[in-house]
Amino acid sequence: MNITKKDIDPLNAVVTVNISKDDYSEKVDTILKDYRKNANIPGFRKGHVPLGMVKKQYGKAVLVDEVNKILQNELHKFLTEEKLDVLGNPLPKNEAEIDWDAGDFSFEFDLGLAPEFEVNLKGKAVTHYKIVADDEMINNQVKTIRKQYGKLIAKDTVEKGDEVTGTFTSEEKGIEKKATFETEIVKGKKQLSTLIGAKVGDTITLKTKGLFKDEHDNQRYLGVDHDAAHGLDIEVALKIEEVNKREMADLNQELFDKIFGEGVVTSEKQLKEKIKEDAERQFEQQSDQKLLNDVVESLIENTKFDLPKEFLQRWIQQSGEEVLSEEAAKEEFEKSEKGLRYQLIEGKLRAEHKLQVTFEELKDYSRDMIRMQMAQFGNMNPTDEELDGIVGRIMSNEEEVRRLSEQLNTNKMLQFYKENAKLKTKEVTYDKFIKEAYA
């Protein structure tokens, strides 16, 4: 047995594995003798079949199988011991040329090697958005709460500020959708004037162009798909079935206790502070996801290194269930190249900064997650025995372990980027964040 590596360039190498007859013959002979003991061949008693006949019938298949086992084991061992950071898997180079009747064999494999590079964390500064809940948002939320917990008063005639329930229909577009909406969301003056004064039981005709302030409301209230909702310009009939005026709830202790629990909030000021706190906590998740996406893009753009593209395209071509064409493999590589580059960057950062997730960290993360979930259902002080039992069940579920590991990995990388990447903080309202981040 002899294995050698020849470097073609910094990203490509060829490994040659030489296997001699001495490496496999004893094992092959043992297997064939076992075959002989159990072979059932007409004309011979079990266990008395001539060895030469067994070799003729099974020898080639056993030899090929045993040599391939040795080959795979030794190749894996060599790559591990030499600490070769390979991309994809070794590709056989000369398998079509192997003469299985020869006693000794020489196998060659192409390797694609991971590049050497330094991660550039200090390129162009990435914006880290701090999203704040402004007064308008907080006041709107207070208004929504008062409406949600207020009283509905049935009416006969539509006035401004009322809630209207009815069924929209259009034979042309196949629309038949029951909906409840407030008159405040109606944009068109003619449509609003048609609606105001209408009575329960009336059927009125409305034009959809400019009907609602947001065209996405066409999707919500008329039941059309997303594409049809934009620029929809037809007439619809609305049969009015209910008209209600919503009397808003008073901001008093009874309302505060109903929403937040007894004594948690005791004034309108505290209510607004709580709304602001809860909103900004939710905004932080969106801000963090945007930051992570932008840092990843920045790292890919600013960390320069070459890849063994030709090797990787050949590996993609041959590694699937079906062999791809060269053109399809090239297209697939181009789609996955950015992802591969980031995998290499992230892997290097994890190794250099010891960011790998440990089993104990995963257990602690699971425990904290369970504790929060139990608190949502009123169990504020679960026992250690309860937590250990649930954590144990989670740790025995491979799919759950993988999912939680990915979450924890992401959290660790995000925290690392917050502390080490070049960032600039920008304070914005939620509406401005949406415009800037997803324009």
pLDDT digit string, tens, across residues 298-315: 999 999 999 999 999 999
Give first-to-last CA distance, the chain, whole Å: 61
Considering the chain, tell me which residue range(s) the CATH 1.10.3120 domain(s) occupy: 266-437
Chain centroid to CA 19 = 44
Considering the chain, tell me which residue range(s) the CATH 3.10.50.30 domain(s) occupy: 151-247
Please, which residues have CB within 8 angstroms of residue 435's CB and are 6 or more apart in sequence? Answer: none
pLDDT (0 to 100) of residue 146: 94
Tokens representing residue 209 in the block: 């162009």
pLDDT (0 to 100) of residue 200: 97
Q: How far apart, in whole angstroms, are the C-alpha atoms of residue 418 and residue 437?
A: 18
pLDDT (0 to 100) of residue 377: 81
Q: How far apart, in whole angstroms, are the C-alpha atoms of residue 135 and residue 269?
A: 12
**Cβ–Cβ under 8 Å, residues 109 and 4:** no
Residue-wise pLDDT tens digits, 248-291 = 999 999 999 999 889 999 999 999 999 999 999 999 999 999 99
pLDDT (0 to 100) of residue 375: 83
Per-residue pLDDT for 403 more than 80? yes
Single-letter amino acid code for the residue at 163: E
Tokens representing residue 199 in the block: 């009575």
Strand-pairing partners, residue 426, are: 129
Confidence class of residue 326 from pLDDT cuts 50, 70 and 90? very high
Confidence class of residue 160 from pLDDT cuts 50, 70 and 90? very high
Mean pLDDT, the chain, whole residue set: 92
Per-residue pLDDT for 47 more than 80? no
Q: How far apart, in whole angstroms, are the C-alpha atoms of residue 227 and residue 215?
A: 10
**How much of the chain, in percent, has pLDDT values that exceed 70?**
98
- 266-437: which CATH number, 1.20.120, 1.10.3120, 3.90.320, 1.10.3470? 1.10.3120
pLDDT (0 to 100) of residue 274: 94
Question: 180-189, 241-250, 358-367, 377-386: which range is least confident on average?
Answer: 377-386
Domain 151-247 annotated CATH 3.10.50.30: yes
Considering the chain, tell me which residue range(s) the CATH 3.30.70.1050 domain(s) occupy: 2-113
pLDDT (0 to 100) of residue 290: 96
Q: How far apart, in whole angstroms, are the C-alpha atoms of residue 183 and residue 159?
A: 8
Q: Averaged over 321-332, what is the pLDDT?
A: 93
Per-residue pLDDT for 91 more than 90? yes
Residue 112 has a CB neighbour count (10 Å cut-off) of 23
Residue-wise pLDDT tens digits, 334-355 = 999 999 999 999 999 999 999 9
Strand-pairing partners, residue 92, are: 109
Q: Which residue has the higher pLDDT, 2 or 381?
A: 2
pLDDT (0 to 100) of residue 95: 84
pLDDT (0 to 100) of residue 409: 95
Residue environment code for 11-49, b if the CB has 16+ CB neighbours within 10 A, otherwise e = bebbbebebeeebbeeebeebbeebbeebeeeeeeeeeb
Confidence class of residue 374 from pLDDT cuts 50, 70 and 90? confident
Domain covering 2-113: architecture = 2-Layer Sandwich (3.30)
pLDDT (0 to 100) of residue 6: 96
Per-residue pLDDT for 45 more than 90? no
- Give the β-pairing of 423-429 and 126-132: parallel
